[in-house]
Amino acid sequence: MKPELYTCRGTYTSSDPVILFLDQVEEDEIGLVNLFHLQECVKSLKWDLHSGNNELNLGIFQDHFQCYGVQVILKDKVLSTSFEICNQEEKTVRYGFLSEFNSYNPDCIRWLAKFHINAIQFYDWSFRHDHLVSDDDEYEDMMGKHIKKNVLNDLISQCHSSGIKAIAYGAIYAASEDYYYSHPDEAMLNSLLQPFVFIGKFYLMDISRDGEYRKHIIHEYQSAISQMHFDGIHMDTYGFPKTAYVQRENGKRLIYLKEEIPSLINETRNALGPSQQVSLIFNNVGNWPVLETAKCDQNAVYVEVWPPYEQYSHLQQIVREIRSVSEKPIVLAAYLKPFREDNPICAMYASLYLSAACMVLGATCLLLGDDHGILTQGYYSDHSILTDLQEMMLRSYSDFMIRYEEILFDPTMDDVSFTHTCWDNYEYRCVSHPVTPYGEPDKIWMILKENKKRKCIFLINLIGNQDPYWNQGKSEPVPQNNIVFRIQVDTLPVNIWCASPEEPDALPVTYSEETDQHGLFVTFTISKLNLLKIIWINSNEKDH
């Protein structure tokens, strides 16, 4: 077994000692522990390590919000991980899932903490969608899955001790057949005045402002929080209907759900408490009705991605639309069928490309859960299992995302990918390789962001892949060498750095100065690009 370095919590606060685990050390030795903030090594410690498993207590960090990379240098190996200090609402929601509640397996949450997951959706944990908390200690859900309440309690408690929020799945309008037949006047009806039914099991109920079922489901959400001690609610939908007839004493009335759902979210928030105490996450299935819900009082903007949102550019479109109305964390649930249908290598690269795309666009993706599981479709219990190689590569991308979270998810950055390059835009130019601002195949996807203090260039190498579809298996990219950039600057940079999940450290980038009729430019060369690389150009703050 190889040595492994990992975190014990999804996130840390300034009240939590930062404890890392270094397992399977082969022999007693003195290791060097380096702590990084972005490119800067802020602390270096010698550590007496023993053969077997070790605990590294790095102590308390007083930061309000900051991210760190950790590197442990052994005699013949270099190991790395990262961690986040966060004493406020989440800057990013790093979502995982649990769907098995028949027996307690503490390794599931330990495993998810290694990926820095800070919120877990408890998927299909309830007795019924209309009666969330069971009256019995053991029960079967509406899909026939066996659940034990003591297992739920143990998992929720473990989340709380692991810096992870436990989020209860709760569909906003799905009810059992028994509930429907007891309350037929609460159902939503189609244009033939027949009830909407999903997969023959779930009757869709009226959640409009004056509907009785709205009161009912909010009460059920309150019960999940108060009785089970969940930290929040995942408000699920099925993407339909967009319009429906509801029944009132004076007859049938047509409702538009994009007008009803926002008030449901906000009313739920008022009933459950402020966002610092209770998390709310609403599922915009197929990106609908995201422009209305993104403005609501919830902790993240969550989109379940389905056709016709099939290409990398469509993920970009979703994020840009949300960012036009909200600065909340963005989560994309983009399930990867290659893990069900393709070979392990093509599936792995599909997940790496998706992870890279999400983080450089400023979003996270829901993929991982249960015991080494990865989602391939919308029913979470039917997930696939990662191979060791797939897991190792995804871990490296998760570590990278946390170490450079302050760059990747900086809310002050403007995305200028479509306005500052190509055509006669001279501000950012790659002068050596084919680039694309929207994820075209067989090119380098170049995302550009900037604020007054920093310019960022995010590169995803799509060369060697012949289609733009995020949900298709992908090949290993063809490495690109000596990529030359010419960037317009107002003053000379303090420094330029680049980093990649494939490399252990951030590396300084040397540059030369140029001038023309447009002003001052810097030119530099990136020696190698495998799949993902980020470049940041630091300006002198005194100049702004």
- 30 to each of 27, 72, 76, 540, how far by Cα in Å? 10, 10, 12, 39
Q: How far is CA 504 from CA 32, 39, 44, 424, 538, in A?
A: 14, 11, 16, 37, 21
Could you read off the pLDDT of 210-228 as tens digits, one per residue?
999 999 999 999 999 999 9
Residue where one domain finishes, among candidates 409, 427, 448: 409
Model confidence at 148, in pLDDT bands (50, 70, 90)? Answer: very high
* 315 located within any domain: yes
Place of tokens 């006669």: 424
In a domain, 289, yes or no: yes
DSSP three-state, residue 440: coil
Is the model's pLDDT at 1 over the cut of 90?
A: no
Average pLDDT rounded to a whole number, residues 231-254? 95
Provide the residue type at 444 as one letter. Answer: I
Model confidence over 391-410: pLDDT tens digits? 999 999 999 999 999 999 99
Nearby residues of 109 by Cβ (< 8 Å), 6 or more positions away: 98, 120, 155, 158, 159, 162, 164
pLDDT band at 88 (very low <50, low <70, confident <90, very high): confident
Average pLDDT over residues 306-328: 98
Residues 230 and 310 in one domain: yes
What CATH code is carried by the domain that includes residue 20? 2.60.40.10
Phi, then psi, of 106 in degrees rounded to 5: -65, -20
Q: What percent of the chain has pLDDT over 90?
A: 95
Task: State whether 11 and 114 are in the same domain.
Answer: no
pLDDT tens digits for 449-490?
999 999 999 999 999 999 999 999 999 999 999 999 999 999
Q: How many CB atoms lie within 10 A of CB 387?
A: 15
- Neighbour-count burial for 301-324, b at 16+ CB within 10 Å, e otherwise: bbbbbbeebbbbbbbbebbebbbe
Confidence of residue 501 (pLDDT cuts 50, 70, 90): very high
Residues 284, 135 share a domain: yes
Q: 291 and 438 share a domain?
A: no
pLDDT(541) > 70: no
Token duo for residue 81: 């991980």
Peptide bond into 17 cis (omega under 30): no
Determine, yes or no, domain membership for 395.
yes
**Non-local CB neighbours of 393 within 8 Å, separated by 6+ positions:** 348, 351, 352
Angle between helices 344-361 and 312-323 (to 10 degrees): 30
Mark whether 123 and 46 lie in a shared domain: no
pLDDT in tens, 157-174: 999 999 999 999 999 999
Residue 83's Cβ-side half-sphere holds a number of Cα atoms within 13 Å equal to 29
> Beta strand 65-73 with 52-57: parallel, antiparallel or unpaired?
unpaired
Per-residue model confidence as pLDDT tens digits over 22-71:
999 999 999 999 999 999 999 999 999 999 999 999 999 988 899 999 99
- Structural domain includes residue 434: yes
Residue type, 93: V
Alpha helices in 229-311, H assignment, sequence order: 257-272, 290-293
Judgement on whether residues 111 and 47 belong to the same structural domain of the protein: no
Rounded CA gap, 437 and 228, in Å? Answer: 46
Q: CA angle, 20 as apex, 16 and 23 as ends, to 5°?
A: 155
The range of the structural domain enclosing residue 117 comes to 95-172+219-237+280-409
Tell me, yes or no, whether 142 lies in a domain: yes
Residue 361's nearest CA partner among 322, 307, 308 is 322
pTM of the shown model: 0.96
Which of 44, 64, 84 represents a domain boundary (last residue)? 84
116 and 231 assigned to the same domain:
yes
Structural domain ending residue among the three candidates 84, 108, 128:
84
Q: What is the torsion angle, in degrees rounded to the nearest 10, for the CA atoms of residue 392, residue 395, residue 399 and residue 404? A: 100
Looking at the structure, tell me whether residues 64 and 109 fall in a common domain. no
The structural domain count of the chain equals 3
Distance CA(170)–CA(235), nearest Å, equals 5
Asked if residue 512 is part of any domain, the answer here is: yes
Residue 89 confidence (pLDDT): 82
For residues 233 and 309, state if they share a domain.
yes
User: Same structural domain for residues 324 and 400?
Assistant: yes
Q: What integer best gives the mean pLDDT of the chain?
A: 96
Half-sphere exposure of 268 toward its Cβ, with a 13 Å CA cutoff?
Answer: 37
Over 70: is that where the pLDDT of 543 sits? no
CATH number at residue 160: 3.20.20.80
What's the whole-number mean pLDDT along residues 273-285?
Answer: 96
* 108 occurs within a structural domain: yes
Same domain membership, residue 380 and residue 457: no
> CB under 8 Å to 396, separation ≥6 — which residues?
501, 502
What is the phi/psi pair of residue 207, to 5°?
A: -110, 20
For residue range 103-143, what is the model confidence (pLDDT) as tens digits? 999 999 999 999 999 999 999 999 999 999 999 999 999 99
Residue 185: inside a domain, yes or no? Answer: no
Report the pLDDT value the prediction gives residue 204, as an integer from 0 to 100: 98
Tens digits of per-residue pLDDT, 171-190?
A: 999 999 999 999 999 999 99
At position 257, the amino acid (one-letter code) is L
Q: How many CB atoms lie within 10 A of CB 518?
A: 9
CATH code of the domain in which 522 resides: 2.60.40.1180
Question: Is the separation of the CB atoms in 250 and 299 below 8 Å?
Answer: no
Q: Which helix (H) or strand (E) holds 245?
A: strand 243-248
Say whether both 291 and 401 belong to one domain.
Answer: yes
